[in-house]
Every structure is written in C-alpha cells, then in structure tokens.
Structure 1
Amino acid sequence: MSIAAIEKGATQPGDHLVRDVSLPALVIHDTALEHNLRWMQKFVSDSGAELAPHGKTSMVPALFLRQLQHGAWGMTLATAVQTRAAYAHGVRRVLMANQLVGAPNMAIIAEMLTDSMFDFHCMVDHPDNVKALGEFFAAKGLNLNVMIEYGVVGGRCGCRSEAEVMALADAIAAQPALKLTGIEGYEGVIHGDQAVSGIRAFATSLVRLAVTLQNKGAFALDRPIVTASGSAWYDLIAEEFDKQQVRERFLSVLRPGSYVVHDHGIYKDAQCCVLDRRHDLSEGLRPAMEVWAHVQSMPEPGFAVIAMGKRDVAFDAGMPNPIKRYAPGVVPASGEDVSACTVTAVMDQHAFMTVAPGCELKVGDIISFGTSHPCLTFDKWRTGCLVGDDLCVIESFDTCF
C-alpha cells in the first residue's frame, strides 16, 4: 500500500461508504458522472464543435480517459508538469491554456515532442515569449505549435487589443520553429451586470480576429483552432461561430472542465443560467462529487463539529453544503435529509455546523457534503473513490497534483 493511499484512506472495490471507508473521503457518484460525460459531449457535438476538457479541474487520469472514451478531441491542461502527467497516462493531444515560460518547462515539453504522435499547442501573448520559444525549440531542432491568446483589459493573460494580436502574428512568423495553429480566449474573467453582453462582444471579436488572420495567411493549419469557454459560458461561445457563418473554416474547441463532476454551488448556479438561455436543453448537469465525513463532536446544543476542514474541501466559493446523514455501519444505507443544517466556518481539520431544529445527530454519524468549485476540492486529495447507487466502491482513483 502506498503512503499516499494510507494518508487519506485506501479503498477496495465492494467497500461500503458507511461501513468500510476511512472518512473523510472524496466521493464521486458514477451515475451522475456518466450522465455528465454524455451530456457535455452531446452538447458540444450538437454545437458543431470539439471538446477538450480542462484537466486541471480534477487531475485524475482515470477521468481523462473516460472523457476521451466519450469522444473528447483532446485534453486541456494548465502547465508543463500537468501536461507531462497526462502524457504519462496516455493522453496524446493537449492544449496548454497558458504561455510556456521558463527553460525547464520548455524542456519538459520538448522531451514529449520527440514523440511524433503527441499533438501539443500552447499559448503566447507577448513578443518576448515568442522570441524565447522560437530560439529554444530551434536549438532543439523541434517545431512548436503556438496559439495567440486574446484577453480583455483588466482580465487575465492575453493580448489586450486586436492590433496586438496582429503584431504578435508577425512576430511568430519571424520564428521558423514556431507554427501558428490558432487563437484562444478565456471569457470567464468577464463579470458584472452586463456579463452576457460583454462575453458575446468578446466572442465576436475573437472569431473576427480568427477570420482576419486566416485571410492574411497567418495560420499553419488549413483549418485553424479557435478555442474559448470555461465551465460557465460555453453555450454563448458555441453560438458565435454560427452567427458569423464561419464554422466550416475553423476547428472550434470548447474546454469546460468542472462539468465532469459539476457541483452544488457556483456551477450549479451557472448551469441554471445556461438552461434559462437554452430552452432546448431539457436537463442539465448533475452534481457528482461529495465529501463524506463524521460528526466528530457535539459540544453544545444545536452545534456540531465535523471531521472535515480546509484540507479536505473547497471553501473559496462558499461553504460545503450538508446533504444527507447516514448511520455508521448500517447497510443498506438510508440517508436522511440534513440540507437545513448549515456549515458556518471551516478550520484546517474541522467544520462548524449549525444543526437545524428537529435534526438529531450523534457523534460518529456520517454526513455527505456537496461542494462549490470542484477544482479546489480535488486538489486536497491524492486518492478518491467512485461509488455506485448502492454506495459501494466501484474503484478508487488517484490524482496527480
């Protein structure tokens, strides 16, 4: 047994969550997971696009393979190290949705590029990075596929104007080792009361730039990649290609990541907005991930301390949501609704929970919790378990953080 498995509990197929699994535990429900995989792949395919899910959400190679088996075109990753982890587990097409900066990181990618089956594209947004990449990969005798990143003022990375994009395309053309394969943008940093109109305007500009660059002959591909979309606004991005009637000219790639397990918080809210905008979608994504933990102490009436804290669950986008209470060791397990209870604070290893009137809890009881922002729950764990509807473990999985 590995040290990682010991640290947060090793599970075996057939183990039951309320009887055999060391808690707290990261839990994914297989039925909801399978629904989400099929739902998003169908949505993207019906939109005439390809799916490159952002793997940084989970960094679970077993989930990467499930996504690819369901039809994903490739995977999106954030760093060279993440890319190496995905490659080691069989992923052979990667969009790295960041600039590749620093010689040690360039060396990681260069090593994988010696495999002719590895299709890799990274972002660039500044002439200095273009020059550094061009010189490094030329010295290695390798070609590197790059995509121009287009951003918004006050946002994250990316060229801040259409003029900067065109100038950067010229800088790329001056580097023989670099091949311009597309253009990328990230709309998730556009917020506020006018977010929808702002995102539509950004998408319009992104596609218009792609057309201009293609007409200029700037791309190394006959069908260049145009990619955007996080986990909240993928529907608006998908629509823009049809509006400008250029879908056949480009390979449009959407890259949401959190959809794979969804959540009980910010992405649940975002999904409601998607369904409001798209009345043709009869059902949305389902929350598939939970953290299960024991009631550790009942020191005062109406107050419970849960054996789960900042090291186990995300807290950046809202507190964990109590879902059900289970009696420890009782199989078959019948959960009791405890959603009226409220987590008010989390410490390193403890959560404070107000117990709703009429809810009877005991020390040792098991509570399932929903989370908000799955990325920052996954990264707390080295192992987790996939469970069936009977709450028995189907398989355990490892993360690669």
Structure 2
Amino acid sequence: MSANLHDLPTPTLLVDVDVLQRNIEDMAAYADRAGLALRPHAKTHKSPAVAALQRAAGATGLSVATVSEAEVFADAGHTDLFIAYPLWLDHDRATRVRALLQRATLTLGVDSADAARRLAAQLAADAAGIRTLVEVDSGHHRSGVPPEEAGLVADAARHAGLEVGGVFTFPGHSYSPAAQAAVAAEEADALKRAAASLRDVGVEPTVVSGGSTPSVAHTHADAMTELRPGVYVFGDAQQWELGTTTPDRIALTAWSTVVSHAGGRVVLDAGSKVIGADRPAWATGHGRLLDHPGARIVLLSEHHAVVEWDEGPVPELGSRLRVVPNHVCNAVNLVDELVAVHDGVVVERWPVAARGANT
C-alpha cells in the first residue's frame, strides 16, 4: 500500500492521518471537559474509516444528513445514528427507515407538527422504535421552529405515537467573520427557551443538541447535552480565514500539479470538480495553498485553479502543491476515495462510501 506522494496522479485528495487524529482527539477531549456528548456530523468525511476513528476517541454516535447516509454508516457497523434533518417521509424513505431499524438505533429530526404526524403515519407500528428531536431556529433562519413553538411540535409528535427526546439546532450563521461568540450565545438562548417549551407541555428534554465547528470553542455547556461539529476533522480554507483553525490543523488537501504559467501566474489542475466551487462573500479566494499562506486562488474553473503568487519566484512547471478547499464537505463529495498519508507516504485509501448519498 505504501507509495511516495510523487507517484500519485493529480489531483488527489490527501488526508494527513497525524493531523486528523490530533483533531479528532482534541475535539473529543474538549467535549469531555465540557461534560457533553460528542456526535460528530459524518457528512463532512462520508467515510466509515474516519467515523471509526471518531468513535474510538469517544464519540457516542454519528450525525448524518440523509437516510442514505444513515444506510451507508449502518452497513459499516455504526449503529447509533441521528438524521439531523427535518425529514418529510415518503413511502420509499419510510420503507428504508423501517429496514434501518433492524440494524441501528435511529433518532430523526422534525420541525413541524405535520411532519411529525406524517412520520408516525408512514412508519405505523415501527414508529414506537423511533426517537425524535424537534429542530429549532437559533438564528440561521434555514429550518427549525421558533424556540417557543418547540413544545407544540413535541406535543403533536407525542400524541402521534413518537418518542420525543428533546431539541436540536444548527448555528450555521457562525460561518461569518467575528460572529462565533455572539452566535454561540444566541444558540444557547434558543436551546434553553426550546427546552422550556417542551417542559411546558410535559416533555422532559433529555437531548439538547447543537454546535458547529466555527462556534464550538464558545459553546455554552450549560445550555446543551450534545455537540455535533463536522468540519473540525479536516479543516478547510473557510475555517482558516475565520480564525477557527490554523494551517497546522488542516488535515485534508488536494495534491495538485502546476500545469501552466500563463499570464505569469500559477495554474493548477485542481479545479472546481475536485475542490468545489464554494466561495463565501468574505473569502479572499477560491481556496488557499497550505504551504504558501500568502497565495490565493483567484480564478477557478472545472479543471483549472489560477493562483496569484506573491511569495517570490513561481514554482516550476510540474511542481506539486497542496490546495486547501474553501469548503471541505463539498470537496470530499466530489471524489471516490481519500488517500491517507503519514510522513509523505501513502498508508491507506479510504473509500468515500457515502458520496452522493443524498436521498
């Protein structure tokens, strides 16, 4: 299995296993110190191999985004799964959820009374084996009910025959410069109000779940029982620019070749079909170079990444560089495997088993 990096074709997504392990262990230790369960979001890595490392470090289970992601991880032996999404079950998904219950413990998200009643009706007798969490909006304004309405959804779910375990949120507006502490405070306030709303209807929330990679360092541990960060395992250019990670904590890069010096710039072969096309308005480029922090990808197309180089002579044609994607979750979903590397040597290849698992 071992091979030198320079024997690999480019572009290839590399994972530095030492950095990865450090990230996993440090997040597990942080959650333990805070007295919180850690249920990392597996949509970032989509890899049962990475999930196994997280579980070995103390993660209580996994969060996933879809039924098909849950199927992939259950097939790999990861059997404590939370589908952190406001599911609207159709016949196909209901059939698959019932099959999943034969081999996994499932928690499902709901954010309306109608969705809860539909979930119970679609699952029929199997609904008794499902725990639900009510999603609340803590300021991201994507999905989730206002915190004060969580009790109404919980009451509807309970009367439909579902077990209600508590509430969850995603503070996604933490992906913005200098917003992390304020967003974590908003999250804590929303979760406390949502938990109180459940108690008002006689439901004691045993799970109060939240967290995001940018905001996790500002977590209000008194407001929740569980953390669900995802990007922390690999890091990316967004986190680098937000200041929520540092270059030495970035575990995943795209191994890329300099293919052109057109226009006096550096042109790489890691385009949007490998590193993804995400670029938030505040980002300084379409991606960064791990070993050259002053450089920026200023133009991105499907198979080209054009780099403005301000650090002296440009690297020679044929040189290899490590590109940091802006959004690692999307980059991982574009490839079939991750190449695990230790000290510049390939040690394993990890299939991206949940790639394209969108239903």
TM exceeding 0.5: yes
Distance 1:22 1:125 in 2: 45
- Report what 2:40 is aligned to: 53
Counterpart AA for 1:228: G
Bigger Rg, structure 1 or 2:
1
Contact 1:53/1:257, CA 8 A, preserved across alignment: yes
- Report what 1:182 is aligned to: 166
> Residue 253 of structure 2 is aligned with which of 290, 303, 325?
290
Q: Which 5+ residue runs of structure 1 have no aligned equivalent?
A: 1-12, 242-246, 274-282, 325-337
Counterpart AA for 1:90: G
Matches within 5 A, 1:97-246: 97-103=84-90, 104-115=92-103, 118-140=104-126, 142-152=128-138, 155-162=141-148, 164-176=149-161, 178-189=162-173, 196-214=181-199, 216-219=201-204, 224-241=206-223
- Report what 2:288 is aligned to: 321
Cα 1:271–1:285 change in 2 (3 A) is farther
Whether 1:395 aligns to 2:348 is yes
Contact 1:210/1:226, CA 8 A, preserved across alignment: yes
Distance 1:303 1:193 in 2: 32
Distance 2:209 2:247 in 1: 23
Query: How far does the alpha carbon of each residue in 1:47-81 deviate from its partner, in whole angstroms, 9 at most, with x for none?
Result: 00010000001101110111001110000000101
In the superposition, the TM-score normalised over structure 2's length comes to 0.89
Counterpart AA for 2:168: E
Distance 2:155 2:227 in 1: 26
Shift of 1:139: 4.8
Contact 2:270/2:304, CA 8 A, preserved across alignment: yes
- Report what 1:62 is aligned to: 49
Contact 1:262/1:285, CA 8 A, preserved across alignment: no
Distance 2:70 2:85 in 1: 11
Shift of 1:142: 4.7
Shift of 1:212: 4.9
Query: How far does the alpha carbon of each residue in 1:265-291 deviate from its partner, in whole angstroms, 9 at most, with x for none?
Result: 221244549xxxxxxxxx997111111
Query: How far does the alpha carbon of each residue in 1:22-44 deviate from its partner, in whole angstroms, 9 at most, with x for none?
Result: 11110011111111011000000
> Residue 327 of structure 2 is aligned with which of 357, 373, 387?
373
- Report what 2:282 is aligned to: none
Contact 1:182/1:224, CA 8 A, preserved across alignment: yes
Distance 1:39 1:199 in 2: 20
- Report what 1:259 is aligned to: 232
Shift of 1:238: 3.6
Distance 1:45 1:31 in 2: 21
In the superposition, the TM-score normalised over structure 1's length comes to 0.80
Query: How far does the alpha carbon of each residue in 1:100-121 deviate from its partner, in whole angstroms, 9 at most, with x for none?
Result: 2232122211111123xx2211
Query: How far does the alpha carbon of each residue in 1:153-182 deviate from its partner, in whole angstroms, 9 at most, with x for none?
Result: 6611111240x2121122112112x11011
Contact 1:271/1:284, CA 8 A, preserved across alignment: no
Distance 2:42 2:135 in 1: 19
Q: Matched residue of 1:312: which SS? A: helix
Cα 1:368–1:150 change in 2 (3 A) is same
Distance 2:17 2:29 in 1: 18
- Report what 1:33 is aligned to: 20
Shift of 1:136: 1.4
Distance 2:339 2:177 in 1: 37
Over the matched positions of the two proteins, sequence identity in percent amounts to 22
Q: Which 5+ residue runs of structure 2 have no aligned equivalent?
A: 280-284
- Report what 1:268 is aligned to: 240
Q: Matched residue of 2:275: which SS? A: coil
Shift of 1:98: 0.4
Counterpart AA for 1:210: A
Cα 1:371–1:143 change in 2 (3 A) is same
